[in-house]
Amino acid sequence: MLLKEFEAGAGMLAPEQIQTLRALASELNPVQAAWISGYLAAVANQGAALGSAAAAPATGAQSAVPLTVLYGSQTGNSRSVATALADKARAQGAEVTLISMADYKPRQLKSERQLLVVVSTHGEGDPPDDAIAFHKFLFSNRAPKLPELNYSVLALGDASYDHFCQTGKEFDLRLAELGANRLAERVDCDVDFEDAAEQWQSEVISKLETSVDSAAPTASVVPINGPASYSRSNPYSASLLASQKITGRGSIKDTRHVEISLEGSGLTYQPGDSLGIWMNNDADLVTRILKATGLSGEERVSLKGEETALRQALTDTYELTLLHPALVQGWAELSGDPELQRLVADSETLKAMIPQNQLVDLVTRYPATPSAEQLVGLLRKLTPRLYSIASSQSEVEEEVHLTVALVADERDGEERLGTVSGALARRLAAGDEVKVYVEPNANFRLPEQDSTPVIMIGPGTGIAPFRAFMQERDARGAEGDNWLFFGNPTFTEDFLYQVEWQGYVKSGLLTRIDLAFSRDQSHKIYVQDRIREQGAELFAWLERGAHLYLCGDAERMAKDVEAALVAVIAEHGGHSEEAAQSYLTQLREAKRYQKDVY
Find the CATH number of the domain harbouring 420.
Answer: 2.40.30.10
Tell me which of 177, 202, 224 is where a domain ends: 224
Q: What is the pTM of this model?
A: 0.83
Would you place residue 9 in the very low, low, confident or very high pLDDT band (cuts 50, 70, 90)? very low
Percent residues over pLDDT 90 in the chain? 77
| pLDDT one-digit tens code per residue, 364-421 | 999 999 999 999 999 999 999 999 999 999 999 999 999 999 999 988 788 999 999 9
Find the CATH number of the domain harbouring 161.
Answer: 3.40.50.360
For the segment 251-258, the average pLDDT, to the nearest whole number, is 97
Q: Which domain holds residue 525?
A: 454-597
Better-predicted residue by pLDDT, 494 or 77: 494
- 41 belongs to a structural domain: no
- 31 belongs to a structural domain: no
**How far apart are alpha carbons 138 and 106 in whole angstroms?**
8
DSSP state of 425: I
- 542 belongs to a structural domain: yes
Residue 192 has phi, psi (to 5 degrees) of -95, 75
Dihedral sign (CA 288, 293, 296, 298)? negative
- 36 belongs to a structural domain: no
| pLDDT one-digit tens code per residue, 276-287 | 999 999 999 999
For residue 220, pLDDT over 50 is answered with no
- 379 belongs to a structural domain: no
**How far apart are alpha carbons 76 and 128 in whole angstroms?**
10
Q: Indicate whether 356 and 474 sit together in one domain.
A: no
Q: Indicate whether 309 and 240 sit together in one domain.
A: no
- 98 belongs to a structural domain: yes
Q: Indicate whether 365 and 396 sit together in one domain.
A: no
**What is the per-residue pLDDT for 129?**
84
- 12 belongs to a structural domain: no
- 46 belongs to a structural domain: no
**Average pLDDT over all residues of the chain:** 88
Q: Indicate whether 338 and 197 sit together in one domain.
A: no
**How far apart are alpha carbons 380 and 190 in whole angstroms?**
9
Number of structural domains the chain divides into: 4
Q: Indicate whether 495 and 577 sit together in one domain.
A: yes
**How far apart are alpha carbons 402 and 383 in whole angstroms?**
18
Q: Indicate whether 248 and 396 sit together in one domain.
A: yes
Q: Indicate whether 200 and 302 sit together in one domain.
A: no
Better-predicted residue by pLDDT, 224 or 318: 318
Least confident of 17-21, 440-444, 564-568: 17-21
- Beta-strand (E) ranges in 328-476? 385-388, 399-405, 408-411, 414-417, 433-439, 454-457
Q: Indicate whether 322 and 208 sit together in one domain.
A: no
For the segment 552-579, the average pLDDT, to the nearest whole number, is 96
Residues in Cβ contact with 522 at an 8 Å cutoff, skipping those fewer than 6 apart: none
- Nearest partner of 29 among 440, 593, 333, judged by Cα: 440
| pLDDT one-digit tens code per residue, 270-326 | 999 999 999 999 999 999 999 999 999 999 999 988 999 999 999 999 999 999 999
Q: Indicate whether 235 and 139 sit together in one domain.
A: no
**How far apart are alpha carbons 162 and 360 in whole angstroms?**
24
**What is the per-residue pLDDT for 222?**
35
> Using an 8 Å Cβ cutoff, are 264 and 379 in contact?
no
> Using an 8 Å Cβ cutoff, are 102 and 108 in contact?
no
**How far apart are alpha carbons 59 and 213 in whole angstroms?**
8
For the segment 468-493, the average pLDDT, to the nearest whole number, is 97
Find the CATH number of the domain harbouring 556.
Answer: 3.40.50.80
Q: Indicate whether 507 and 553 sit together in one domain.
A: yes
H or E element in which residue 558 lies? helix 557-573
Q: Indicate whether 484 and 587 sit together in one domain.
A: yes
Q: Indicate whether 365 and 413 sit together in one domain.
A: no
| pLDDT one-digit tens code per residue, 86-121 | 999 998 889 999 999 989 999 899 999 999 999 999
For residue 228, pLDDT over 60 is answered with no
Q: What SS3 string covers 37-86?
A: HHHHHHHHHHHHHHCHHHHCCCHHHHCECEEEEEEECCCCHHHHHHHHHH
